[in-house]
Amino acid sequence: MHAPGRRDRTAAMHAVHHLLLAHGTAVDRMRSADGDQRFGITLNLTPAIPRTEADVETARRADGFGIRMYLDPPLRGHYPSDTLADLADLADEGITLPVEPGDLTAIATPLDVLGVNYYFTETVRADGAAVRTGPTTALGWPVTPPGLTDLLVRLHRGRFGEL
């Protein structure tokens, strides 16, 4: 679906870590070169909401991998503990992140701006079935304008871990 078309969760999680590490290191170096500039990051954030009470755990996991894995390290200096536990519990992979000493400090280099790309809110079900209610885009994405307001309020309040 998306380039390069690989479906390797371990490689994806390692890429997340190195993306954040590269960004934090670059911001630190650019700020050292010119402290008068403002620096930030723009992230694609897709909130997940449960379809029913039985789907809350699925939404928590989706939120952990889709939002908090990207926000917590630069803004809080650590990965979300529940999501790390989810990675470690994967029966077939037992994924750990390649965190070296000093990585999280570099990733948490202070930001001046947080940019948000918002396309839609994803409604999830524990059984993995697709939930399609209402209009969709030509790409099949749900049209969910209220989700942007909800996401921005959540970010403003610093409540990344709350659904």
The residues spanned by each domain of the chain are: 9-156
Tally of CB atoms within 10 A around 141 = 14
| pLDDT tens, residue by residue, 13-57 | 999 999 999 999 999 999 999 878 999 999 999 999 999 999 999
The pTM (predicted TM-score) of the whole model is 0.88
What six digits make up the tokens of 49?
A: 């909401």
Please list the residues that pair with 114 across neighbouring strands.
41
